[in-house]
Amino acid sequence: MRGDTRVMAVPHLNEGMISIIDMTDWSVIKVIDTSGPGFFLRSHDGTPYLWADVFTGPNKGQMHIIDKQSLEVVRVLEPEPGKTVAHTEFTKDGKFALVSVWEMDGAVIIYDTATFEEVTRLPMVKPSGKYNVWNKISFQDGTSH
């Protein structure tokens, strides 16, 4: 939700943009520029931010943090420059974001969603998928199903 309006965020697969669409009348509220084409974006009721990856191109190691009310990029994380950083999921309470470094020498990085600080890193081989069963079996705004 953005204020009292239900909105939808859609990444552009071939351009560095995210369209924000008003689901009441299907109008485009804003197009947010990013540093490259994205594929996965996620949010959670427990955070005021949307986490959007740059899935391809020279900036594929970046994750854009977007304020859900102002629709502005407030931070760009780059935990592994040059490596694909994607697949954000959240813990049940939204306090932590789990982000994949989608490479053979990859990891799942745990971030504090309030400070954007890295809490820990779990080394893995090309991790992807869903890390929070709760988000998959229950409906919450901002999650995907």
In the chain the domains, ranked by start, together with CATH numbers, are 7-137 (2.130.10.10)
Output the average pLDDT for the chain. Answer: 91
Q: How many CB atoms lie within 10 A of CB 81?
A: 11
CA–CA separation, 94 and 29 (whole Å): 26
- Half-sphere exposure for 46 (CA within 13 Å, toward CB): 13
> Taking residues 112-121, what's their average pLDDT?
97
| Residue 56 per-residue DSSP state | S
Is pLDDT above 80 for 79?
A: yes
Structure-block tokens of residue 49: 């931010």
Rg of the chain (C-alpha set): 14
| Residue 5 per-residue DSSP state | B
pLDDT confidence tier of residue 130, bands split at 50, 70 and 90: low
pLDDT at site 137? 73
